[in-house]
Amino acid sequence: MALKIDLLQLKERGRIAEVKQDIVHVHGLANCMNGQLVRFGRDTEGVVVGFDEDYALALIVKEGSPIKPGDEVTSTIDAFTVPVGEEFIGRHVNALCMPIDGKGPIKESRQAPIFAVAPSVLERVPVTESMTTGTKLVDMMTPIGRGQRELIIGDRMTGKTTIATDAMISQKGAGVVCIYCCIGKSEASLNRVLEIIENRNIWEYGIVISATAADSMGKQYLVPYVASSLAEYFMNQLGGDVLIVFDDLTKHAWNYRQISLLLERSPGRDAYPGDIFYVHSQLVERAGKMSPENGGGSITHLPIVETIQGDVTGYIPSNTISMTDGQIYMSTQLFGEGFKPAIDTGLSVSRIGSKVQWPAIKKLSGMLRLEYVQYKELEKLTRIKAGVSEEVQKRLTRGQIVAEVLKQDADNPIPMLDQVIWLFGFREGYMDDTAPAQVRECMENFLARLRASGKSTLDKLEEVKDITDEIQEELDEHFRRLWDSNP
């Protein structure tokens, strides 16, 4: 009679040799592997994160009853998995995908490994579909496509999270599932984002997964990987599009450094372990646009990284810049001057670029970056002079109009259609005789009137996404008729 062995029932047993905060040294697990689930006692769980000559090293991720040296440890061949599924939309969960919003249990569709392998190049296709962020400076100058990885970088309190939440607001009705992943931030910061999500009805298509500064090292380390596993369910199983905001990877790096020091790994540059690059690249590589044969879904990453005094050459900022498809740089100086969003157009770039832009935006915004940069340089030169010539004053006034076109309020994303109208009005010179301080008010009034009397033109523009001769004539007519009547 043949002997049948159920591998899923095989267990390996060991003993705890030492406990250092959330790191446990386990003796006797000779066949375990990285990412494997281990259990301490009845209700404490961990994941294998490394080995030395004598022990397996495990990170506690689910805390139960206290553990101590000598306690029994059991492991199976299972990888560490979390529940995923469509029922998670509209819910707030912790780093293990357990609900923490008081709305009851969540029905899972399946279990997914947290350290999944990123799709290969052959399974992907180039990024060609636009993802509206609602931030004019981004959509006009550093556009983002579905499947892209665009870094948001800058000092604290410069509006990084606002760029990300505006992008989430802009996905309403676009068929994109938005996941906000909070890593190591304070409860107050998380609550501010939850308030925006509540007020703007992002729960209809959004998920929040959080491990705040009050949570354990293990949860803060795992939470971005768990968010990616949740996103991969929608991409791989449903062929859907997902946007993930990682807020922020600096805190994740700090957490991993702390874990590594407890694991007695040698510190390197800026006291980070040498494998921090692998840790983050393994994460961002899970973003991408899948081929039609593999479902055609996509995962877009918006990782956030905090700098100190604008230093983008630090170890973590330079690492993440090298592994993403561009960066949006937030400037403390611009923020202090009142220019919001405080995006530095000189240091911001998208390596996907104009491939994903609307043809209308591409056509109208071609020289916008250059005009704005030239205005800022001219403004610096004229600050120290008592008077300027009439020609220079005209150039300064036009530059001020450019700045007003690019400004916008927080939590107020601008639809792509409205952005085209903004650019058209500027390019065709309809704003030239308007005082810069009145430009935004006049344009808002104009847009309200255009929606009432020019709906057919707007519908055509949204359909073709380009300025055809017919649309050009109709827009010119609307501007001549409605713009002059602005107060």
Task: Give the domain-ending residue among 357, 386, 418.
Answer: 357
Of the candidates 319, 281, 324, the one whose C-alpha atom is nearest the C-alpha of residue 302 is 324
pLDDT given at position 453 = 87
Six-digit token string for 380: 């610096």
Please, are residues 116 and 232 in contact by the beta-carbon 8 Å criterion? Answer: yes
**What domain range is 477 assigned to?**
363-482
pLDDT given at position 51 = 86
**Parallel, antiparallel, or unpaired: how do β-strands 298-306 and 241-247 relate?**
parallel
* Residue 266 sits in the same domain as residue 302: yes
Kindly state whether residue 1 falls inside one of the protein's structural domains: no
**Which H helix or E strand runs over 187?**
helix 187-199
Say which residues have a Cβ less than 8 Å from residue 442's Cβ, sequence separation at least 6.
431, 434, 483, 486
C-alpha distances in Å from residue 357, one per residue of 129, 375, 417 = 8, 25, 12
pLDDT given at position 1 = 41
Active site residues: 351
Say which residues have a Cβ less than 8 Å from residue 437's Cβ, sequence separation at least 6.
404
Say which residues have a Cβ less than 8 Å from residue 53's Cβ, sequence separation at least 6.
none
* Residue 227 sits in the same domain as residue 179: yes
The predicted model scores a pTM of: 0.92
- 3-state DSSP call for residue 167? helix
Distance in angstroms (rounded) separating the CA atoms of residues 254 and 306 = 11
The CATH number assigned to the domain holding 295 equals 3.40.50.300
* Residue 330 sits in the same domain as residue 249: yes
Dump pLDDT digits (tens) for 159-198: 999 999 999 999 999 999 999 999 999 999 999 999 999 9
Structurally, the chain folds into a number of domains equal to: 3
Task: Give the domain-ending residue among 39, 60, 79.
Answer: 79
Strand partners, 349: 327
Mean pLDDT per 10-residue run, the chain (487 residues)? 50 89 89 87 87 88 88 85 95 95 93 92 93 93 94 94 96 95 95 96 96 92 95 95 95 93 86 90 95 95 94 92 94 90 91 86 88 86 74 88 90 92 91 88 90 90 92 91 65
The CATH number assigned to the domain holding 32 equals 2.40.30.20
Kindly state whether residue 3 falls inside one of the protein's structural domains: no
Q: Tell me: cis bond preceding 341? Omega within 30 of 0 counts.
A: yes
Kindly state whether residue 5 falls inside one of the protein's structural domains: no
Distance in angstroms (rounded) separating the CA atoms of residues 153 and 160 = 7
* Residue 335 sits in the same domain as residue 263: yes
* Residue 386 sits in the same domain as residue 239: no
Please, are residues 61 and 216 in contact by the beta-carbon 8 Å criterion? Answer: yes
Distance in angstroms (rounded) separating the CA atoms of residues 419 and 81 = 43
Burial of 409 (0-12, 13-18, 19+ CB in 10 A): exposed
Please, are residues 251 and 184 in contact by the beta-carbon 8 Å criterion? Answer: yes
Kindly state whether residue 487 falls inside one of the protein's structural domains: no
Kindly state whether residue 280 falls inside one of the protein's structural domains: yes
Kindly state whether residue 444 falls inside one of the protein's structural domains: yes
- 3-state DSSP call for residue 268? coil
Task: Give the domain-ending residue among 28, 57, 79.
Answer: 79
pLDDT given at position 4 = 47
Dump pLDDT digits (tens) for 119-152: 999 999 999 999 999 999 999 999 999 999 999 9
Distance in angstroms (rounded) separating the CA atoms of residues 185 and 191 = 10
Six-digit token string for 34: 């990285």
Question: Following DSSP, what letter does each residue of 446-474 receive, concatenated?
Answer: HHHHHHHH-HHHHHHHHHH-S--HHHHHH
* Residue 323 sits in the same domain as residue 195: yes
* Residue 246 sits in the same domain as residue 346: yes
Distance in angstroms (rounded) separating the CA atoms of residues 13 and 470 = 75
Kindly state whether residue 262 falls inside one of the protein's structural domains: yes
Kindly state whether residue 2 falls inside one of the protein's structural domains: no
Say which residues have a Cβ less than 8 Å from residue 108's Cβ, sequence separation at least 6.
83, 84, 85, 87, 97
* Residue 129 sits in the same domain as residue 31: no
pLDDT given at position 3 = 46
* Residue 189 sits in the same domain as residue 285: yes
465: left (phi over 0), alpha (psi -120 to 50) or beta: left
* Residue 317 sits in the same domain as residue 294: yes
* Residue 156 sits in the same domain as residue 266: yes
pLDDT given at position 487 = 46
* Residue 468 sits in the same domain as residue 376: yes
